[in-house]
Amino acid sequence: MNLYIDDKKSTIKDISLLLGLKSHELPLSDSRPKTFERIGVKDQNGNYKIDPQSKKAIIPSGLSIPMTFDAQTPDGGVVKITYSARQSVVTNNGISRMKYDNKMMTLPKDQLMVSGNEKNLVFFLFISTKNLTSPLNIGKANPNCDYKYLDSEATARLLNEKEDILIEALSTFKSLGEAQIKTLAKGYKLSSNIDDLSIEEVKTLLRNKVKQDPAKFNLDIQSHEVALDGTIQDAIDKQIITSRNSTSGFTWILNGIDLVETPNNNNPIPSLRTVILGNMDEYFPMIKDGIQKRNVAASPKIDAKHFSDFIGDGNSSFDAGDRKLISQLTQEERRIVQLREWAKLDLNDPSIHHATKRAIENNKKDIEEQRQKDIAEGLIKA
């Protein structure tokens, strides 16, 4: 299959020079399959849009993509770029024009995968002005596009970044003391009876929370809001902050000071947080001191000097078990992403590579289990 500039057979290099395209802008460096996905047929969660009348998913039919388009050159000129197997001259009423074998190409209902070895086709589909991510569309307001290129390198980069975020979150989790772990668990409202659970049970609850959304955990640690909410809840549980009935609900008290009044059946934490934040220097030391005294009273401190031989060297680096956990988590994450991508493909689509079809067949059970799990968690609709 060939590329043409204004009906003249050309190369990728010719077109790149003419349009001012840089090699690093083009997805041609390897032979991995390239994916082009239709836009406008799915919602932000990657699910097909729902017909408001039938309440069913709107499954689109194949879309015809023109195999020629007009491109603007850096000097303001306009050229026609065409992709075709061959061209021929057709004369009608004494007027000659070029005719191409294939004027259109069908983009399946949601995705088209093209072998990375088909560089001319990958190049054409990528730079076409019908591609939302085409370098020729950069800076243009609302270009008329039908699909976008899915950058596999960007996806890999994202996975690496997610792994770094997970490592940071797990590292922070490992550095927490028992009191901090319980405070965060209360701040996240992971259980209504945190004080009745063993520290290992609380650690499990918090570790699962960290693994569920490590990026949010990192932000929560930096903002201290969850820690503050947990500290306030801990002060209520230990009766450092108490309450008395009032005409409209409860009045909350700290060291004889009326802090705020809240209605019946209302969660008092947001109101208490606002008041305490308004005078942190006065209120927070009272709360921390009260909690510390209750903790000491509940559990007398063991003098560490009698157990100096139990103290480690302070090395908090990850051991083999930790690294294995992180590896398993990220591998599992990648596996879930792959299963979800396979679930979107139609085995009857002739454009799907035979190796991909074989992989889908071999993983049918896992694909369906992941789909059912996503449905149960409300991530996709049945």
In order along its 382 residues, the chain shows pLDDT tens digits of 899 999 899 999 999 999 999 888 888 888 888 888 888 877 766 677 787 887 777 777 888 888 999 998 888 889 999 999 888 888 888 787 888 887 888 888 788 888 888 999 999 999 999 998 898 988 777 778 888 888 765 555 556 667 778 888 888 999 999 999 999 999 999 998 999 999 999 999 999 999 888 888 988 888 888 999 999 999 999 999 999 988 888 999 999 999 999 988 888 999 999 999 999 999 999 999 998 888 777 766 566 666 666 655 555 556 666 666 666 665 677 678 778 888 888 887 776 766 677 788 888 888 888 888 877 776 677 6
Where is 169: in which H helix or E strand?
helix 152-175
- Tell me, what's the pLDDT at 78? 92
Cα(289)–Cα(274) distance, integer angstroms:
20
C-beta of residue 236 within 8 angstroms of C-beta of residue 186? no
Say which DSSP state 300 is in: P
Residue 174 phi/psi, 5° resolution? -65, -25
160: region left, alpha or beta (phi > 0 left; psi from -120 to 50 alpha): alpha
Euclidean distance between the first and the last CA atom of the chain, given in angstroms as a whole number? 42
- Tell me, what's the pLDDT at 302? 62
Cα(93)–Cα(311) distance, integer angstroms:
97
Total count of residues recorded for the chain: 382
Residue 74 phi/psi, 5° resolution? -55, -25
**Reported pTM:** 0.44
